[in-house]
Amino acid sequence: MSIAAGRDLILKLGDGAESESFAPVAGLRTRSLSLNARTVDVTHADSPGGWRELLTGVGLKTCTVSGAGVFIDDAAATRIRQLFFDQQAASWQVVLPGAGHIEGAFLVAALDYSGRFDGEAAWSLSLASAGALVFIAS
């Protein structure tokens, strides 16, 4: 993966249609993606040489996405807020610059609003994977 600008990591929300279409929902100023896989330790008294043994392919996989910025419009703000209050999974797409994109169901796990009295209102959100995700290389 070559060097890419952070601004190119884009968060898009699906429209829920049969043939899903994705559109950016916010002007993100900061963003991050974290992929994790928990291991399953099966070490026992007879493990060769006392070395730790891990099962492969059976651990819990999770993905979290976070970002902060401003909403593109009121409709995007309303939709994300409603997804949070309903705790309804929605299809999201995370574009990874120079690599491809990750697509799948996410829950809005946290939604924070902030703002200075002399500046714009801003928000931050955290998404938690709510099912199997697919990586599609570019």
* pLDDT value at residue 115: 81
**CATH 4.10.410 for domain 6-137:** yes
* pLDDT value at residue 8: 59
For the chain, 138 residues long, the average pLDDT of each consecutive 10-residue run is 56 90 83 85 82 79 89 88 96 88 95 85 90 93
Instruction: Tell me, letter by letter, the H, E, C secondary structure of 41-63.
Output: ECCCCCCHHHCCCEECCCCCEEE
* pLDDT value at residue 1: 46
* pLDDT value at residue 6: 47
Q: Strand pairing partners for 112? A: 124
**Whole-angstrom distance, CA of residue 26 vs CA of residue 13:** 10
* pLDDT value at residue 128: 96
43 contact partners, CB below 8 Å, separation of at least 6: 51, 52, 53
* pLDDT value at residue 21: 93
* pLDDT value at residue 79: 92
Number of Cβ atoms within 10 Å of the Cβ of 68: 17
